[in-house]
Structure 1
Amino acid sequence: MKLILTIALVLVFSRYSYAQKMFSVYYENQADIKVFVVKYENQADLKVYKVKYQNQVGDNDGKWFFTEYANQTKKKVYFVKYENQADLKIYFVNYENQAGWRNLSKKWLLY
């Protein structure tokens, strides 16, 4: 019974940490997603809040935890210099409740 409960809990919690753990790579060809940080919130596809601990990430809701190593994450991001090079435009917010999608058509990038 404990084994079944443990497996169920692992499956439930693994869902919540699927794509929100990020690793920033140095080279564009290593990335899964190219990201550009915009100056203004209304220009962003996604408003991102950087959490301090990996257990705070949600289900593709804009709360990102940057891992120390590439093998700890499902998505690797590369920060581009120009907006037209990006797959996703983000804006970093100061408060957790501000995080979220502004352009839902880009949501598939983080699955």
Structure 2
Amino acid sequence: MCNKTFIKFKISKIHFSRLCFLAILLFNLTIKAQKVYIVPYENQADIKVFVEQYANNADLKVYKVEYSNQAGNNDGKWFFTEYENQAEKKIFFTNYANQADIKIFYVEYSNQAEWNDASKKKFFE
């Protein structure tokens, strides 16, 4: 009897470990990129970005955070990395709006960061 209980406990412990591993793996896959690196050439970029002069013309209102741990979860809080390998997405700033995948507008306060066009969120997934 005691032996069966031990076996059930051991099996459930193994399943729990696998479940935790799977949960961590899925969590990491669903994180949306907000750590960005600016590349010098368009062909190196994951996303082409244009900076708008007016918030209502932008797809995304972006707030620049000071530290990487403040970067958002696809909500417009961006941290600009110093090195390419620290970034989750590489961006290139275009000179014209029609060349860009998304148009952004920089906001002054973090609570102003948000998507105006949620259909463009896919670029940061």
Fold match (TM-score > 0.5): yes
Q: Deviations over 1:42-84 (max 9, x none)?
A: 0000000000000001210000000000001120000000010
Q: What is the one-letter code of the residue matched to 1:84?
A: N
From 69, 92, 101, the counterpart of 1:87: 101
> Do the aligned partners of residues 95 and 11 (structure 1) sit closer, same or farther apart at CA in structure 2, a change above 3 Å counting?
farther
Equivalent residue, structure 1, for 2:66: 52
> Do the aligned partners of residues 66 and 12 (structure 1) sit closer, same or farther apart at CA in structure 2, a change above 3 Å counting?
farther
Q: How many residues align?
A: 108
Alignment partner of 2:85: what SS?
Answer: helix
Report the Cα distance in structure 2 between the residues aligned to 1:16 and 1:50, rounded to whole angstroms.
22
1:37 paired with 2:59, answer: no
Structure 2: any 5+ residue segments left out of the alignment?
Answer: 1-16
Equivalent residue, structure 1, for 2:115: 101
Structure 1: any 5+ residue segments left out of the alignment?
Answer: none
1:16–1:59 CA contact under 8 A, matched in 2:
no
**Structure with the largest fraction of helix:** 2
Paired-residue identity, %: 58
Query: 1:11 offset after TM fit, Å?
Result: 6.0
Alignment partner of 2:120: what SS?
Answer: helix
Report the Cα distance in structure 1 between the residues aligned to 2:63 and 2:27, rounded to whole angstroms.
20
Q: TM-score, normalised by structure 2?
A: 0.77
Q: Tell me the C-alpha RMSD between the 2 structures.
A: 2.2
Report the Cα distance in structure 2 between the residues aligned to 1:16 and 1:56, rounded to whole angstroms.
17
Equivalent residue, structure 1, for 2:77: 63
Q: What is the one-letter code of the residue matched to 2:39?
A: V
From 31, 36, 41, the counterpart of 1:22: 36
Larger Cα Rg: Structure 1 or Structure 2? 2
Q: What is the one-letter code of the residue matched to 2:61?
A: K
Q: TM-score, normalised by structure 1?
A: 0.86
